[in-house]
Amino acid sequence: MPEFHLPKCSSRNSGQRLIPKWKLAISIFFGALGIALLVLAVMYFGWLKMKKRTEPASSSKDDSSLNLSYGILLKATNGFSSSNLIGVGGLGSVYKGFLDENGTTIAAKVLNLTLHGAVKSFITECKALRNIRHRNLLKVLTVCSGTDYRGNEFKALIYEFMVNGSLEDWLHPSPSSANVDGNAHKLSLIQRINISIDVASALDYLHDHLQSPVIHCDLKPSNVLLDAEMVGHVGDFGLAKIVIDSTDDTKAKMSSAGVRGTVGYAAPEYGMESEVSREGDVYSYGILLLEMFTGVSPTNERFRENFNLHKFVKEALPEQPLEITDPFLLQEMESRMGTA
């Protein structure tokens, strides 16, 4: 507009308009490159994650992938030698074994299939252990079901080896387990309390934290194994019952009929063909506790007819608790008081 006497627009302004377009093009290029790199990174890390998930199934060092034949177990246990024998049960024997391929120490429970109920016990234990995982349960690594070199049927369960043996070994040590001074290793008060908590945690998991609760039916010291840190692990589910239908919170119909507990530990009502229940395991746990803190087995010769471990403890309480306490615990208490 001439009346404002303004200077004409410079021609350089038209050239400056090209600069934002170059900037936009460069930004679009690097933005697209960044998105492409991000997509590739996501795909790469996703592939790594999938690879990690599949590696344990094919790794020979993973216990869950163990595939053991009769021949491998025969070699690992030195021909099921008596020197490798670490336990004998009602339906089979347990051997310590060493696997050369990955250096794993195992405990192989070999079933005596000539005994009535051995095959049923094997199947029951496999079913019970199939879907349970807990730090206080004995870990089953794999099973072996086939034939031996003579063509006879062979079945074994392979467990994680517990270096400190069973609770039975510590409560009632044999003379051969004594040290050089002639003294057998015994459990301290704190160790007994911790182990009792471990067993209670295992029962709580089996009874109240599974979709199909499991009743152990054979809780006793020989079925509580101790690892290197003296942590208790409940094992031997050969007599276990899986709850398949519950009419109330305590009684249940079971997956199989009949109960074969251990004398001294089995609930009295089981002798009258009552249904197994959580209370039956709790009764066995109570007997286990009494044995742990008195040092007296419920199958001791002093218990005959109607006199048992429960009555033995009941008669001494509350006036004479020291009379029924394990003498080793009393010695431990005296030594602590002496050094205090």
Proportion of the chain above pLDDT 90, given as a percent: 54
Q: At residue 254, does pLDDT exceed 50?
A: no
Are 171 and 239 in contact by the 8 Å Cβ rule? The answer is no
pLDDT band at 106 (very low <50, low <70, confident <90, very high): very high
pLDDT band at 32 (very low <50, low <70, confident <90, very high): confident
DSSP state letters, 215-278: E-----GGGEEE-TT--EEE---TT-EEEEEESSSSBEEESS------TTTS-GGGGGTPPPBH
* Residues 6 or more apart in contact with residue 303 via CB below 8 angstroms: 264, 309, 312
Domain ranges of the chain: 64-160, 167-339
The pLDDT tens digits for 60-100 are 344 445 688 999 999 999 999 999 999 888 889 999 999 87
Mean pLDDT comparison of 1-10, 211-220, 297-306, highest-scoring range: 211-220
- Helix orientation angle between 189-208 and 327-339, rounded to the nearest 10 degrees: 130
Give CA–CA dist 112/116, Å, rounded: 9
- Output the six-digit token pair for 289: 């506790």
Per-residue confidence (pLDDT) for residue 31, from 0 to 100? 73
Per-residue confidence (pLDDT) for residue 192, from 0 to 100? 97
Q: Which residues pair with 105 in a beta bridge?
A: 98
pLDDT band at 179 (very low <50, low <70, confident <90, very high): low
152-173 burial code (b ≥16 CB/10 A, e <16): eebbbbbbbbbebbbbbbbbbe
Nearest alpha-carbon partner for 125 in 221, 23, 217, 257? 217
pLDDT band at 260 (very low <50, low <70, confident <90, very high): low
The pLDDT tens digits for 212-251 are 999 999 999 999 999 999 999 999 998 999 887 655 444 4
Torsion angle, CA of 152/158/162/165, rounded to 10 degrees?
A: -30
Give CA–CA dist 103/99, Å, rounded: 5
Q: At residue 138, does pLDDT exceed 70?
A: yes
Per-residue confidence (pLDDT) for residue 285, from 0 to 100? 97
Are 260 and 239 in contact by the 8 Å Cβ rule? The answer is yes
Give CA–CA dist 323/292, Å, rounded: 15
Are 154 and 250 in contact by the 8 Å Cβ rule? The answer is no
Give CA–CA dist 82/94, Å, rounded: 10
Please state whether beta strands 92-98 and 214-215 pair in parallel, antiparallel, or not at all (unpaired).
Answer: unpaired
Task: State the residue for tokens 């615990």.
Answer: 329
Amino acid at 17: R
DSSP state letters, 56-94: HHH-TT-GGG----HHHHHHHTTTT-GGGEEEE-SSEEE
- Helix orientation angle between 309-316 and 278-294, rounded to the nearest 10 degrees: 60
> Which of the pair, 302 or 50, is modelled with greater confidence?
302
Q: At residue 326, does pLDDT exceed 90?
A: yes
pLDDT band at 275 (very low <50, low <70, confident <90, very high): confident
Instruction: Please determine, looking at this structure, whether the domain spanning 167-339 carries the CATH number 1.20.1250.20.
Output: no
What CATH fold (topology level) applies to the domain 64-160? Phosphorylase Kinase; domain 1 (3.30.200)
Are 217 and 239 in contact by the 8 Å Cβ rule? The answer is yes
Marked catalytic residue, from 169, 218, 236, 326:
218
Which of 78-92, 117-131, 249-263, 285-299 is the least confident region? 249-263
pLDDT band at 183 (very low <50, low <70, confident <90, very high): low
248 a catalytic residue:
no
Residue 109 has phi, psi (to 5 degrees) of -95, 105
Per-residue confidence (pLDDT) for residue 76, from 0 to 100? 94
